[in-house]
Amino acid sequence: MQGGREKVLSVHFGLALDFWSTSKPLDSLLDDYVGLLKLAEQYGFNSVWAGENRPRFAEPGHVPSPLLILTALARHTRLRLGTGITLLPLWHPLKLAYDGLILDQISGGRFILGVGVGSPGVMKRYGVPPEEAGSRMDEALVLLKKLWGGEEGFEGQHFNVKGNVYPGPIQPGGPPIWVGGKIRGSVQRAAQLGDAWYGATQYHLEVVKKQARRYRELLSASGKDPSEATVAVNRTTFLAETDEQARIEGKPYVSEVLNFYGKMGLIEDNQGNTLDPQQDLFELVGEEIVVVGSPKRCLESFKRYHEEAGVNQFNLRISMGNMPLELAQRTVTLLGEEVLPHFL
């Protein structure tokens, strides 16, 4: 406390959009989200994020085209527009460079490219040898930076490109690139070739802490200022007036997210042990993976992430599956009125 006032933390919040609804066509879902984004703008949220969900098999509720989604939203919101994430090994970087710079132009310089490797199963479905995913991603990151920076030509193991791209992006040097992933190589890519490290929805807080610490160490070793680092994480979030109400009302929707990742063996405890997806994951996991509760409890959770892991960007999944829009609106309102004022 300084001068009787609570210290305000430098932390920002975005909305991570969910497209798992099977009850609404995509155009209606986007209409709902436009209204939700306008509400979020009023409360100081800084960004909106859409992921590249490419399942191994045809499944309802997956949208594999985040750039198209963000382009559709660009003229309806002032928020920054991010992919959370783009599966970079599936893309030719020249194509992505053009698509990204066009979105940057359309949005007036608000685009952020979030990237990750993706699973071996997805790589195989799209004809990319899983063993090449890492090297393809490294080359693509280098090439994107060169193309967006106005440089010409690149020759590598996977990609050979002549010339540059036009028109260039609005943001000098191109849109920021946030690199996701929890293996050692992903954090190294973030420090050496990216502009931020981005933790996924299912990562346990212990993973976030470990990777964030490693990321800052690598930045420092390369002569960059670790205090300026952006450490972002996606969190599934559900708020109500009381903790009990939030757990009762939020359990069906939050459980859907947990069960999805649990079936793939991606939900772990604090020791890195995979949790049995046949168990009630909602009752097993805590604030280390999801943020569910009253505004007071959720504020404590966000502060914990900031203090223990240095997270300074939370992208919140506040709408899940066929959840009524009113519940998402309530979460945004409670966050905006009782949580975000404690942060910059």
Count: domains in the chain: 1
173/80 Cα distance (integer angstroms): 17
Residue 269 lies in a domain: no
* CA 75 to the chain's CA centroid: 21
pLDDT at 5 over 50: no
Quick one: pLDDT at residue 122?
A: 87
Residue 316 lies in a domain: yes
Residue 279 lies in a domain: no
pLDDT at 3 over 50: no
Quick one: pLDDT at residue 82?
A: 98
Residue 261 lies in a domain: no
* Residue with token string 């685009």: 111
Quick one: pLDDT at residue 22?
A: 80
Q: What is the share, in percent, of the chain residues with pLDDT greater than 90?
A: 82
Quick one: pLDDT at residue 2?
A: 40
Q: Pick left, alpha or beta for residue 106 (phi over 0 → left; psi -120 to 50 → alpha; otherwise beta).
A: alpha
Q: Which two three-digit tokens encode residue 24?
A: 């609404």
**Residue numbers of the domain that contains 239:** 12-247+291-342
* CA 239 to the chain's CA centroid: 20
- DSSP secondary structure letters along 81-120: EEES-EEGGGS-HHHHHHHHHHHHHHTTS-EEEEEE---H
Segment (H or E) for 135 = helix 133-148
Residue 20 lies in a domain: yes
| pLDDT band at 1; cut points 50, 70, 90 | very low
List Cα–Cα distances, 244 to 241, 247, 292, 297, in angstroms. 9, 5, 10, 11
CATH number at residue 204: 3.20.20.30
Radius of gyration of the chain (CA): 20
Please, are residues 46 and 81 in contact by the beta-carbon 8 Å criterion?
no
Residue 31 lies in a domain: yes
Residues paired with residue 197 on neighbouring β-strands, in sequence order: 179, 231
How many other C-beta atoms are found inside a 10 Å radius of the C-beta of residue 301? 22
Residue 257 lies in a domain: no
Taking only the tens place, the pLDDT of each residue in 318-343 is 999 899 999 999 999 999 999 999 99
Residue 280 lies in a domain: no
